[in-house]
Amino acid sequence: MYTDAIDLPDHSRFDVDLAIIGSGPAGITLARAFANRSTQVCLIEAGGLAYDARVQSLYEGESAGIPYPIAGNRMRLFGGSSNHWGGFCRPLDPIDFEKRDWVPFSGWPFGIEELMPYYEPASVLVEIAPGRFNDKTYWEHATGETIPDPVTGRMQLRYTHFSPPTRFGQRYGDDLKRAANVRVLYNANVTNIASLQEGRAVQQLDIRTLTGLSHSVRARIYVLATGGLENARTLLLSNKSVPAGLGNQHDLVGRFFMEHPHLSGFGEIVVADLRRRPRAFTRRVEADGRAATAAFNPSEAFLRERRLLNATFLAGEAGPYYGYTRSDWAKAPLHMDMLRAARPFLADGSGPVDSARPDLLGEWLGLGCACEQVPNPDSRVTLAGERDLLGLPKIRLDWRLTEQDRRSVVEHMRSLAMEYGALGIGRMLLGVEDDGQWPAEVTGGAHHMGTTRMHDDPKQGVVDRNCRVHGVDNLYVAGSSVFTTGGAANPTLTVVALALRLADHLKTRLG
């Protein structure tokens, strides 16, 4: 059932078993897991069923650290940021869950085996081919090409899968509409999580509309699923009975904000022998109606040996080289020199690499990477002085990166260059100065992680291994804000897997 909070009489109240705040992939996955059961569910969404600029403005904030598009990197409407996401999917790697002595604050309370049973149903929900992330044979069979194994020991191949991308609101909205036990309450901004007993139990959710109405929802169990930035803001705003904010007794809410620092244009690869470069290295290839591309990741052995952070490297075709250079390519003469150096047979005319394209000499690849960053307590979300249209303090984000993060990615770039050379595919031109500075073009990937991190010790994490807020009996958090470390995989597949795991836990608790 769908209910528009704007159409309700002022001061309406709903009493349910389970209240879920936020209808992104996390909230919808959770609500759907309870559809057509005896549990009464209210899924509360701040936005409407379509984009509205006034609603979206409630996401604006202040960026105090590395410049960050705080409103532009998320969406406030039914379906959340899945209305906008790119659909890149991959599970975290086993090493990402470990306590690594060279990564401060690392170590999830459990290993990847805890999430493995949930990655498969999560893959179904995001509509990708299940379980083919490391399976070179499957993609060789699908593409009819040989995919070489990395040879330096530094890199390994992983397959990034592409969701269509699934828009969770459109794709699963009807399932929720049909379920008699689920109410979707939209245009309903949760402005305060009201608590009792000095924050030890949630009493109700205070809700406001942009038209000035106030409502409330009471439940036995509450789940905060408002996205990796807003989860922290909502807890900090819920400060009526606990001045520091709900769950913030150890000043951890909002700290440890992590992104996947993205760099592009840090290097180019001049492919000298197209026969050695499988399509999957640079393009989306298809099998059974699903698409994937090969990514280079540092091998686990190399990460351990050199005490580095995880990373993902993707390449794409930037242009072909023909038997002449085009004057509008500023870099073409340099590339052609590299190409000649890499392919001595060009000079003696021993033949083209592609018999169907005799004028084609090679190819120029652009590179992109998304890296892990060290959890850093000073990289954080707080409340700003300025207020939003509801009169609430806006979010303030101070995203910070460290020298350890930078050194790690520079080393991986060198490894990638070695790997392409060793595979005999081409030569890599590294465009990053190793000068102790992060390049100005570092951006995020709209991946908001760590602000309500998971840890068994309440002094080191906001939520426990079941995603329950430490010290609050009936409040849970869903989404990438619970990630203890971020790995180098896009987060949403793991967000959905964690939401399915949380649903199982709550089913036991709610009966």
Ligand X SMILES: Cc1cc2nc3c(=O)[nH]c(=O)nc-3n(C[C@H](O)[C@H](O)[C@H](O)COP(=O)(O)OP(=O)(O)OC[C@H]3O[C@@H](n4cnc5c(N)ncnc54)[C@H](O)[C@@H]3O)c2cc1C
Which residues sit at the interface with ligand X, rule CB under 6 A? Answer: 21-27, 44-47, 73-74, 76-77, 80-82, 84-89, 189-190, 225-227, 230, 234, 446-447, 479-480, 490-492, 495
Q: How far is the CB of 481 from ligand X (least distance, A)?
A: 8
Q: How far is the CB of 153 from ligand X (least distance, A)?
A: 29
Return the number of the residue (77 or 342) whose C-beta is nearest ligand X: 77
Return the number of the residue (213 or 270) whose C-beta is nearest ligand X: 213
Q: How far is the CB of 335 from ligand X (least distance, A)?
A: 30
Q: How far is the CB of 403 from ligand X (least distance, A)?
A: 27
Sign of CA dihedral 398, 404, 410, 411: negative
Return the number of the residue (320 or 445) whose C-beta is nearest ligand X: 445
CA distance 354 to 366: 21
Return the number of the residue (230 or 419) whose C-beta is nearest ligand X: 230
User: What is the helix (H) or strand (E) element at residue 386, kind and residue range?
Assistant: strand 380-387
Q: How far is the CB of 122 from ligand X (least distance, A)?
A: 11
Return the number of the residue (272 or 477) whose C-beta is nearest ligand X: 477
**Residue 107 near residue 131 (C-beta atoms within 8 A):** no
Return the number of the residue (23 or 474) whose C-beta is nearest ligand X: 23
Q: State the DSSP string of 350-382.
A: ---S-TT-TTEEEEEEEEEEEE-----TTSEEE
Q: How far is the CB of 37 from ligand X (least distance, A)?
A: 21
Q: How far is the CB of 87 from ligand X (least distance, A)?
A: 5
Classified as helix, coil or strand, 193 is: strand
Q: How far is the CB of 245 from ligand X (least distance, A)?
A: 14
CA distance 293 to 273: 20
Amino acid 312 reads: T
Q: How far is the CB of 508 from ligand X (least distance, A)?
A: 22
Distance of CA 387 to the CA centre of its chain: 28
Return the number of the residue (210 or 346) whose C-beta is nearest ligand X: 210
Return the number of the residue (225 or 475) whose C-beta is nearest ligand X: 225
> CB neighbours (10 Å) of residue 137?
9
Q: How far is the CB of 433 from ligand X (least distance, A)?
A: 29
**Residue 510 near residue 17 (C-beta atoms within 8 A):** yes
Q: How far is the CB of 101 from ligand X (least distance, A)?
A: 29
Return the number of the residue (25 or 61) whose C-beta is nearest ligand X: 25
Burial 6-16 (b: 16+ CB within 10 A, else e): eebeeebebeb
Return the number of the residue (70 or 308) whose C-beta is nearest ligand X: 70
Q: How far is the CB of 3 from ligand X (least distance, A)?
A: 14
Q: How far is the CB of 61 from ligand X (least distance, A)?
A: 12
Quick one: angle between helices 25-33 and 492-510, nearest 10?
Answer: 30
What does DSSP say about strands 393-398 and 61-63: parallel, antiparallel, or unpaired? parallel
CA distance 133 to 403: 31
Return the number of the residue (8 or 423) whose C-beta is nearest ligand X: 8
Output DSSP code: residue 133.
S
Determine whether 352 is exposed, middle or buried from the number of CB atoms within 10 Å of its CB (0-12, 13-18, 19+).
middle
**Residue 300 near residue 266 (C-beta atoms within 8 A):** no
CA distance 450 to 440: 24
CA distance 254 to 188: 23
Across the beta sheet with 182-186, what order do the strands follow? 2-4, 182-186, 41-44, 18-21, 221-224, 475-477
Of 412, 381, 109, the closest CA to residue 258 belongs to 381
CA distance 363 to 339: 9
Determine whether 195 is exposed, middle or buried from the number of CB atoms within 10 Å of its CB (0-12, 13-18, 19+).
buried
Return the number of the residue (150 or 450) whose C-beta is nearest ligand X: 450
Q: Which residues pair with 264 in a beta bridge?
A: 368
Left (φ > 0), alpha (ψ -120 to 50) or beta: where does 72 sit? alpha
Return the number of the residue (321 or 399) whose C-beta is nearest ligand X: 399
Of 280, 365, 281, the closest CA to residue 321 belongs to 365
Q: Look up residue 224 and give its two tokens.
A: 């905060």
Residue nearest to ligand X (CB): 24
